[in-house]
Structure 1
């Protein structure tokens, strides 16, 4: 296991819809410790996030950058940030569940997708991981649908358990979509 790519909203930080205010960033419980544990173990860490507020005209790239910088201060540092600025109907290849963000983050980190885990809170995070050839861990939140939980290859109760799974998997082979 060489890298973990986290979803931002609902996974590393409390989801505030279309957040452009760094002061509104609140880390999820255990987020800073989870990132630190991975870094101590030599696992590269980054973020892959849909930010459709840009495409909808609600946010600017500067707004997203300021929020991401605040996340880095509170949780990080994170080595790579990739986000999709497009609205859901846009014809892009980066919006999760498509693999573009994940593949770009892997290239920037210099890691193979098959040695990477995507950790997120909804089905599109899991689908993006599978489409890119990565493993996936779902951490359900109140917005996670039951069918997404049922369809996830690996489910963790929180970030601490997700990191436990990742670190244990460093000793075991990976399969696309989940950890084996």
Structure 2
């Protein structure tokens, strides 16, 4: 690690929410809210123990997963456990709203979105409705929406195997 990297810290522990939102965007119910909560706990724990705050190089989404890169990891085992648990929780939550979600392949991007946010994102990216917005070849067929291709949340009351968003839209 370079000397410059050792001094970088993208988390301002005096304004955690703003610094996290600069990295992940303003999604208080989604990933930025989850990560803000993590660093608020880290700040309290570090203050209790009288230890230095962990230095964070980068917080980002990559291939549909949350990544947090540290230049100096905390020496406290509990804090390291919180970081791992938060990343695991985020990777099973919608980036935007926090609902349960799985990674979706939307065009050339992999994003972790619930069916509602995935449909909103597809509407922003595509000019017209396509039969299959989402592409995943590794998903079990019973978890794939027969209309849009969303993976994960299928309306069990629907005999056409559609996600709740497609059911609501009448697709």
TM-score of the superposed pair, with normalisation by structure 1: 0.27
Query: Whose relative contact order is higher, 1 or 2, with alpha carbons under 8 Å and at least 6 apart?
Result: 1
TM-score of the superposed pair, with normalisation by structure 2: 0.28
Larger radius of gyration: 2
